[in-house]
Chain A
Amino acid sequence: MAGVGEAHLRTDSTPLLSVEGLVVEFPAGRQGVVHAVSGISFDVLEGETVGLVGESGCGKTSTGRAIMQAPRPTSGSVTLDGTDLASLDAKSLRRIRPDFQMILQDSISSLNPRRKVKDIVARGLRVWNRGSRDEIDAKVREVLDAVGLDPEVVGSRRPHQFSGGQCQRICIARALVLDPKLIVCDEPVSALDVSVQAQILNILRDMKERYGLTLLFISHDLGVVKNVSDRVIVMYLGKICEVGSPDVLYANPAHHYTELLIESIPHPDPSARSRDDLFGRTAVDPPSPIDPPSGCRFRTRCPAAQERCRDEEPQIREIGPGHFVACHFPVERSANAAAGPGGDIAGE
């Protein structure tokens, strides 16, 4: 995987969010630089949910934060609805912040413990002077009601009086209240129990319909990502491995990393249990992002790695309708045999 290239970008329509050549690096003291995100490009169409999935350290959170410009990326452009966020000065950036909001994993710690829920949700509206006191009150009621909280009951309470799932609802309400164009959701359900997780996923889906939202959904959980996404991007060590619609990508993973991820999921059905040890294949730790491998970054763990994977970074290329992979020797399956490994590679 290495994923350079832009074959997966959509040129036939204007995307709401377009990320090009995004690089995020952090200083790592004397050891050098952490290459968190190494030149990825992708786009999100209006009304679409794009899922970003990968293991910890793959750069998915850094990507989300770079889009939020918090902190700003090392290089590359982030264009939201025609405006390049990375080139804006601090003042102009602040002015368009209401357009892109974020929902974080740890909902309880992202709410101010000393404020009442109605004030937390109303905060953005007050900062931006969006309407009179009554109008703000009405809007706060509307969004709290939309996420399934009774504004009369919860409005005067403080965050510690709520469970994790309810706090996440408050965070969603807070993100919604400014009518954003884009919401970046960073692991919004990872800290929740499955029954509550299902409630939050359903709310996000309803809110998307009701408010016409566009979501970038970051998660390590492949099942969750499949459930919410229109398009899935798989990341590994700061690069894109594979892009596709969830139904195609999960049924026919073309990248060996995607295949490994899917095979690793324990299946809630004992008759499907595969006791064949993935032990030998996966016992290797991911390499350090301070000194990533040459060529394809997944080659150190890849069962199909060959010399070429070390020397040459694979380009993202289309192997089926709307299905893209950055691999010299993709997983062979009858379904996508048309674009077998022998085919073209360097479409550079």
Chain B
Amino acid sequence: MSESTNPSPPLLRVRNLSTGFETPRGLLWAVDGVSFDLDQGRTMGVVGESGSGKSVLVRTVMNLLAANAVVPDDGEVLFRGRNVRDLDAIEERHFWGTEMAMVFQDPMTSLNPVKRIGRQLTESIRFHLGLDDDAATERALELMNQVGIPEPKKRLRQYPHELSGGMRQRVVIAIALSCSPKLLIADEPTTALDVTVQRQILDLLGRIQRETDMAMILITHDLGVVASYTDEIAVMYGGQIVEHAATSDLFEDLAHPYTEALLASIPRIDLPSHARLQAIGGRPPDMVAPPPGCRFAPRCAYRTDECEAAIPELISVADRMHTCRCIRPLVSHRDVAEAVVAPNRPGSS
């Protein structure tokens, strides 16, 4: 987010990135003018509902797009100073795995069902690091220990269907980590898993991220997941980042009405049972013909006519790190509200 205050460039710099898809109804802008920086050793959470563009964003960053995708030239993805979009096919193959790696949502479909785990795990090790079979197997066993797979020798000879969902996701993580990438992108890595297994996998990713000091982008629709495991959060809506802040700032001083509405719609276990949920009315915008102004305006509780005049810019609220795409960010409402309420609450800290 922040303009570089330190002289060294960030690990990943994304500027004004847009991705569109040709559809029968016209061009659909799934990602629309996204910019952010990510430093080494940081974990960024990208939150949003289905169709908000979060998966397309990271696929564009990885250069893993379908043939009907359109990426305008003024969008930039600079990874360690190099524009990812300029890589040719051969450079790209050496780039994936060693520089950036990705963990997908469904471990069953991202593993090859007719190849043994060992073969899939050593494939990229042999290709990228040029190790022979024995050395690659050695490294594979090491990785399996690192991701907490019991009986690794036996697992190497098994097929994906012989493993549980959590174990398969550990294998996928091991493959992603095999060539020590600088950036790991995890796209909904735990959505298909049970809550206890989710906790294990997120703890595992967090531990490995701290040990290796790599950067991580964690994509999820679950605000609970990002709250516990990230340093900063970007909230996406309608292909745009609508709020971006350090994790603690976002939850303390959320500024965008969409972030507020998203949080209020979660059935939290600390709420009493039968509490009525604050559903967000309406539907996400049609990205072939998005609303003219703020994309969230049609569903927003604080909407004014002004909101529909033009797309709001990302502006700083509170401090420079915290930005929000809203002409009337909530922080200002709350300051006013608290100033009125505060004298009546002597006991509050």
Contacts and interface: CB of A to CB of B under 8 A. Distances in A.
A286 B266 CA distance: 28
Which residue among A194, A226, A263, A282 has the maximum number of chain B CB atoms within 10 Å of its CB? A194
A259 B275 CA distance: 22
Interface stretch (A14-22, A131-139, A269-277, A315-323): A269-277
B244 to A, nearest CB: 15
Contacts of A223: 266-269
Interface string A178-211: 0000000000000001111111011001000000
Interface string A256-284: 00001111111111110111011100110
A198 B279 contact: yes
B273 interface: yes
Contacts of A222: 195, 269
Given A194-B262, A264-B196, A163 B278 contact: no
Nearest to B220: A266
A55 B223 CA distance: 21
Interface in B193-214: 194-200, 202-204, 206-207
B196 A282 contact: yes
A228 B277 CA distance: 10
Contact of B280 (A195, A267, A279): A195
Nearest to B264: A198
Contacts of A247: 272-273
A199 B277 CA distance: 8
B34 interface: no
Interface in A158-187: 163
A268 B259 CA distance: 12
Interface residues of B, number: 52
A227 B196 contact: no
Contacts of B251: 268-271
B67 interface: no
Contact of B148 (A261, A267, A270, A283): A283
Interface string B262-288: 110111111111111111110100000
B227 A266 contact: yes
A227 B273 contact: yes
A111 interface: no
A273 B200 contact: no
Contacts of B222: 194, 266
Contacts of B279: 195-196, 198-199, 201-202
Which residue among A247, A261, A264, A266 has the maximum number of chain B CB atoms within 10 Å of its CB? A266
B273 A194 contact: no
A279 B206 CA distance: 11
Which residue among B197, B247, B277 has the maximum number of chain A CB atoms within 10 Å of its CB? B277
Contacts of A201: 267, 277, 279
A285 B207 CA distance: 20
A266 B229 contact: yes
Nearest to B196: A264
A268 B227 CA distance: 5
Given A193-B50, A202-B277, A270-B247, A265 B221 contact: no
Nearest to A274: B228
Given A220-B194, A227-B271, A278 B203 contact: yes
A238 to B, nearest CB: 16
Contacts of A56: 165, 194
B269 A195 contact: no
B110 interface: no
Interface of A: 55-56, 163, 193-199, 201-202, 205, 220-224, 226-230, 245-247, 250, 260-271, 273-275, 277-279, 282-283, 285-286
**Chain A to chain B: the 7 pairs with minimum beta-carbon distance, closest first:** A266-B224, A198-B279, A198-B277, A227-B267, A195-B280, A246-B273, A198-B265
Given A223-B266, A267-B227, 17 more contacts: A55-B197, A193-B221, A195-B262, A195-B265, A198-B280, A199-B281, A222-B195, A222-B269, A226-B267, A226-B269, A247-B272, A247-B273, A260-B196, A262-B269, A268-B263, A271-B251, A282-B196
5 contacts: A199-B281, A224-B267, A230-B273, A262-B269, A278-B200
